[in-house]
Chain A
Amino acid sequence: MEFFLISLLNGVSYGLLLFMLSSGLTLIFSMMGVLNFAHASFYMLGAYFAYQISVKFGFWPALLMAPLVVGVLGALVERFMLRRVHKFGHVPELLLTFGLAYLIEEFVHLIWGRSSLDYKVPTEMDGPLFTLYTTTFPMYRGFMMLVAVLMLLAIFLVLTRTRIGLVIQASLTHPDTVEALGHNVPRVFMLVFGGGCALAGLAGVIGGNAFVTEPGMAAAVGSIVFVVAVVGGMGSLAGAFVASLLIGVIQTFAVAMDYSFVTLLKSAGFVITPDTFLYSLWKLTIAQTAPILPYLFLVLILIFRPRGLMGTREG
């Protein structure tokens, strides 16, 4: 029970962090048809900027400023790079974001070096939030969940209760028609791209010190975020939410499970020794396979439900 609850909490908090990333990715994709390969790089920038700001001004100003800076950067990328390439089609756009991801990674290498940064959880939150049986749940994890839930609520309210939200929703499927009604759709694109990047940046601010801030962090989370967007259904926020939690929880549970075929076969009465045929396969534990589970999930979804859990479009 204890294991279950703690893993569930950890899984959900990780899942919520994934959602902060995938929500922006999926909005940008469904609106512009651009799969932003650099999305996780903005997450990384969020963490690095937050570190730099927190060194000088502390964590709280960083929590506010870093996402803003990342958001402005994202908006500039849309305005001065993507928009120019847009008329040549989706493939050049894709290549542009691909190149941008490398550019940002090398930039981070040059400025902050190749090793991980000493970006720490603020001292006032460096403690347990509560103790469940014998395990403590860190206060910072609770804070992460709170930020993610507030952000989720904010996105929901903006999209459903404001005029710009309606314009965004309509532009997801019919940008040309929206523009013919007199709405400045190019500007909406820029805002959504910037907003999506700001959310990724925010995820970086709170994820960077919860996990680790290093140049590989973008690549580490980037592929998982794509899995989330595809599994949830391209362009579906609700799908991205469900898929984020699902993958967060599955991965967290799997990592903590030490079972292997050996355990299973032993309980069935077989004798397994290091000499048994294919022993290296039988001794694989679930924990060891945890990193590949999301991709397994991705492949299965693509085969059996190509539009994703809640996607509306085919493929």
Chain B
Amino acid sequence: MLHVRDLHAYYGKSHILHGVSMQVGKGEIVSLLGRNGVGRSTTIKAIMGQVHATGSVQFLDQELLGHKTYEIAHKGLGYVPENRDIFPTLTVEQNLILGMKAKQAGRAAPRWKLDDMYRMFPRLKERQNTQAGVLSGGEQQMLTLCRTLMGDPDLIMIDEPTEGLAPKIVELVAEYLKELKHRGVSVLLVEQKLAIALDISNRLYVMGHGQIVFEGTPAELKANETVRKEWLEV
């Protein structure tokens, strides 16, 4: 579904990605692991058209590189940024409404409605008319996850969804990811917590120095102590 080949990305003059190749299949949950600063977030941003990149990114057999971010979103790619970029002055419900695209041409009824979000996270229902800026960190994370879903993506890329969250909310996020899988939405997950990634992923990639250094199933990664020592554990 998503094929990335030889992706190079740059911030100004610094060369961040040195030929990343990876893929995500339909209905798969794929995790992108690695220490901070190895280029995981940059990979996602490059796919989303927010960073200058060369190489090839194909999604549903269409080339994405060179397209504008909003066009890429319209092709069915969703992105949940890591910094919980909620719109602070708007209400929870207005945030969710903004997740919907202007016109979702050529599409059947969207997979998700507002009520689905409120069912998954009852806390958001309680706070639907609250300004998003006053929500707790966990609630803001739920909101960004749901906001992107409202755009009905076929593949959703999520950057560090559990960072700094209480264990209880981390569990909710894991439930959310399983629900996505259940509905046939593919997931590309950037995750710091190895336990979660091993638990829910079909496959994993490990990144180091702007390149993919390992590809395999959770069982293979568990068995491969060298990779974990060299590229993951601190």
A residues contacting B by CB (< 8 A) are: 163, 166-167, 169-170, 173-174, 176-186
Instruction: Assess the A180–B94 pair: CB atoms within 8 A.
Output: no
Which residues of chain A have C-beta atoms less than 8 A from B81's C-beta?
Answer: 176-177, 180
Which residues of chain B have C-beta atoms less than 8 A from A170's C-beta?
Answer: 87, 90, 98
Instruction: Assess the B69–A180 pair: CB atoms within 8 A.
Output: yes
Q: Do A181 and B101 form a contact, CB below 8 Å, given A176-B50, A176-B69, A186-B68? A: yes
What is the distance, in angstroms, from A171's C-beta to the closest C-beta of chain B? 9
Which residues of chain A have C-beta atoms less than 8 A from B85's C-beta?
Answer: 174, 176-177
Q: Do A179 and B73 form a contact, CB below 8 Å, given A166-B98, A167-B98? A: yes
What is the distance, in angstroms, from A239's C-beta to the closest C-beta of chain B? 14
Instruction: Assess the A183–B102 pair: CB atoms within 8 A.
Output: yes
Majority secondary structure of chain A interface residues (helix, strand, loop or mixed): helix
Which residues of chain B have C-beta atoms less than 8 A from A184's C-beta?
Answer: 70, 102
Complex Cα gap A182–B70 (Å): 4
Instruction: Assess the A183–B70 pair: CB atoms within 8 A.
Output: yes
Instruction: Assess the A166–B89 pair: CB atoms within 8 A.
Output: no
Q: Do A166 and B148 form a contact, CB below 8 Å, given A182-B70, A182-B74? A: no
What is the distance, in angstroms, from B184's C-beta to the closest C-beta of chain A? 20
Q: Is B79 an interface residue (CB 8 A)?
A: yes
What is the distance, in angstroms, from A273's C-beta to the closest C-beta of chain B? 59
Q: Do A180 and B79 form a contact, CB below 8 Å, given A166-B97, A186-B68? A: yes
Q: Is B27 an interface residue (CB 8 A)?
A: no
Complex Cα gap A183–B151 (Å): 10
Instruction: Assess the A183–B48 pair: CB atoms within 8 A.
Output: no
Complex Cα gap A178–B147 (Å): 11
What is the distance, in angstroms, from B107's C-beta to the closest C-beta of chain A? 12
Which residues of chain B have C-beta atoms less than 8 A from A177's C-beta?
Answer: 81, 85, 87
Instruction: Assess the A169–B70 pair: CB atoms within 8 A.
Output: no
Instruction: Assess the A166–B70 pair: CB atoms within 8 A.
Output: no
Q: Do A178 and B98 form a contact, CB below 8 Å, given A170-B90, A184-B70, A185-B70? A: yes
What is the distance, in angstroms, from B52's C-beta to the closest C-beta of chain A? 10
Query: Nearest 9 A-B pairs (CB), nearest first?
Result: A182-B73, A182-B101, A177-B85, A170-B87, A179-B69, A180-B79, A179-B70, A184-B70, A174-B85
Which residues of chain A have C-beta atoms less than 8 A from B89's C-beta?
Answer: 169, 173
Q: Do A163 and B97 form a contact, CB below 8 Å, given A183-B70, A183-B102? A: yes
